[in-house]
Amino acid sequence: MKLKVFSVSKIHKNVFLIKLFSAILITGLAFSLFIFHSSDFSPVFASVTGRFEARFLPPKVIVPENEDLIPQDIEIEKCNLFAGKWIPDSSGPTYTNSSCGNLIDGHQNCITNGRPDLDFLYWKWKPHDCLLPRFDPRKFLQLMRNKSWAFIGDSIVRNHVESLLCMLYMVEEPVEVYHDKEYKSKRWHFPIHNLTISNIWSPFLVQAAIFEDSNGVSSAAVQLHLDKLDETWTSLMPTLDYAIISTGKWTSTPDHFQNGEWHNGGTCRQTEPVSDEEAEMKNVHKILRGLEIGQFERAVREKTGEDGGGGGGNVKLLDFTGMLLTRPDGHPGAYRAFRPFDKDKNAKVQNDCLHWCLPGPIDYLNDVILETIVNG
């Protein structure tokens, strides 16, 4: 089955239908956000030194006392890491825009690109009912010795991979060992720990012919083969210990465009997080998120045999929607390009209110992932 998806400018009214169809297909295949393939850990301790350059960090924010403490009368059986809020964090990020070589894509290197407000770096994610330890790169590398990871999806996944690599870089520098012709799929190796991390470009997860430039502007219709999974990633699945598979922007990724979208002047100028009550999710994304979660839960029941079939499997859904929806301040905005207002302070530039600055809020996805690995 082949579906043609036309550019937004040509057929904007059909976007909802296309997104809905894609969501049903993708989530029906039980690949939504996160898949564990192995639960066997063999922690090996290693002494490895990293590098860190503290540059371009703003003044520290004062953290209110006891903000991190859990009320003593709460009994916690299993913490929901996805229900929480952003609180001030005086320690700031664990890496900088200059501490991980050239790993950060230029469009997400907001500080180098001249973003003037840097308070967005001084917040951390705090679950309501427990403490979330900061990502420990040494611990991750020790647990993942001799393992293979893959992050599969679109440019949001690439954004996440770069975040993880920058955090791990503080302990061991990764070596790029592969890239495809367009440098969209890449693989890195951590030789001391024999850990491999791959970024696999497959924005629709199914076979697709895509005709667009680096700014996402289409020159022809995208051709989707909805009955054929993309072999770019399926062929690698038997070799992986862990895979994060994201449905990305094509379903319900949070974005914060105001007064338009990416292609018609939308901007994002917020400078701090918002509350759950203030966060707004587009209706189409609410519908798609509900479909994704429902289909994923059904697939897990079938996989684990609760509905009469299945042979087990370690599969988990990581729903970061609420966590990221409350961070409209974390996007590159106008600073997706290098110093866009140097020549003209009133210049009209394209804003990016979908991807995330590095360092930035997306770093905390790694905190949640490591905690999920350690404590299930």
Indicate the average pLDDT of the chain. Answer: 78
Active site residue 225: no
The 10s digit of each residue's pLDDT in 179-217 is 999 999 999 999 999 999 999 999 889 998 877 776 667
CB atoms within 10 A of CB 226: 17
Rounded Cα distance, 122 and 134, in Å: 13
pLDDT at 62 over 80: no
Catalytically annotated residue among 155, 185, 202, 252:
155
Domain limits of the chain?
Answer: 33-64+74-203+236-375
Contact 314, 37 (CB under 8 A): yes
The 10s digit of each residue's pLDDT in 319-351 is 898 899 999 999 999 999 999 999 999 888 889
Active site residue 227: no
Residue 188: beta bridge partners? 176, 197
pLDDT at 371 over 60: yes
Catalytically annotated residue among 160, 193, 285, 355:
355
pLDDT at 218 over 80: no
Rounded Cα distance, 349 and 330, in Å: 18
Where does the pLDDT of residue 70 fall: very low under 50, low under 70, confident under 90, or very high at 90 and above?
A: very low
Active site residue 99: no
Where does the pLDDT of residue 258 fall: very low under 50, low under 70, confident under 90, or very high at 90 and above?
A: low
pLDDT at 150 over 50: yes
Contact 198, 186 (CB under 8 A): yes
Catalytically annotated residue among 89, 352, 363, 367:
352
Where does the pLDDT of residue 311 fall: very low under 50, low under 70, confident under 90, or very high at 90 and above?
A: low
